[in-house]
Amino acid sequence: MELVILKDSEQVAAAGAEHLQDLLLNKPNAVLGLATGRTPKSMYRQLANLCKESSLSFRDVTTFNLDEYLGVQPNDAQSYRSTMRRELFDDIDIDPANTYLPECAADQNPLDVGPDYEAAILEKGGIDCQVLGIGQNGHIGFNEPSSSLNSRTRIKTLTRETIENNRQYFEDAESQPQLAITMGIATIMDARQILLLATGAAKAEAVRQSIEGAVSASCPASILQMHERVVVLLDEPAASKLARLDYYLWVQNQKRRLLAKIASD
Ligand code: PGA
């Protein structure tokens, strides 16, 4: 796990955008796993700007989003499809046919969505890089605490805490969905690399438990300790509860010096 601790959320967004830009320059037809939520918004803005300046293209990119509400239709303003269109898809040159979310059409059996989504990911060759946020309760996607660490894409019931955190996006409590379809934890772990972003003091405890706590379904993000290639981008408030913070900063510094040396040799 590589920890990168940066001053503020804007630096996290810039580092995330740079990471994905490098990946797409190396593999223009990469498959990206994407997340919604407050955390990646600014990174998406930066990616859209890079695309506008022609420094980056999504023409051959395929995306799979982590999750979608069940019972919300793609054109509804609160759907994650609409959110992704507003925050990224409409401002980049991606082919909308290559943007996937675990959506359930009105006439579809919701139990079929998960297996179909898994098959679609496999058919596209698997996810090269999965972008993740983290919930205050340690969830990744909508894999709430107690989710099986071996889970696949399926329907999940949201915790009251998650519903409360997302309350602001809905006009009234009645219209707010309590069910979602989310990639499973094993699906996320299949990605060839993972880029987790966390910003703000409200995430500090979840970040600490994920990175320094025991691997446990009680904190789904802790499973990332078992993944071979994870980059965690944190701002200072999100990193503030890490017990080994000094060590992580020292490692970061050593890496910077080593790369500078290699570049100058
Ligand atoms: P947030 O959500 O980015 O809106 O904080 C993250 C998450 O719940 O995974």
Query: What pLDDT sits at residue 232?
Result: 98
Cβ partners under 8 Å of residue 215, min gap 6: 149, 222, 223, 225, 226
pLDDT(174) > 90? no
Q: Provide the pLDDT confidence category of residue 171 given band limits of 50, 70 and 90.
A: confident
Residue of the nearest CA to atom 2 in ligand 1?
A: 37
Query: What pLDDT sits at residue 173?
Result: 84
Cβ partners under 8 Å of residue 96, min gap 6: 89
pLDDT(121) > 90? yes
Quote the CA–CA distance of 45 and 38 in Å, as a whole number: 12
pLDDT, averaged across the chain: 96
Quote the CA–CA distance of 65 and 101 in Å, as a whole number: 5
Ligand 1 near 102 CB (within 6 A):
no
Distance from Cα 135 to the centre of ligand 1, integer Å: 5
Mutate to test the pocket of ligand 1, among 134, 156, 183, 234 (most ligand atoms within 8 A of CB): 134
Region of 54 (left: φ > 0; alpha: ψ -120 to 50; beta: rest) is left
Distance from Cα 39 to the centre of ligand 1, integer Å: 6
| pTM reported for the whole predicted model | 0.96
Mutate to test the pocket of ligand 1, among 39, 161, 183 (most ligand atoms within 8 A of CB): 39
Region of 73 (left: φ > 0; alpha: ψ -120 to 50; beta: rest) is beta
Quote the CA–CA distance of 247 and 85 in Å, as a whole number: 40
Question: What φ, ψ does residue 147 adopt, rounded to 5°?
Answer: -60, 145
Query: What pLDDT sits at residue 172?
Result: 84
Over range 7-35, report the average pLDDT: 98
Quote the CA–CA distance of 39 and 235 in Å, as a whole number: 11
Query: What pLDDT sits at residue 241?
Result: 98
* Enzyme catalytic residues: 67, 137, 139, 144
Ligand 1 near 138 CB (within 6 A):
no
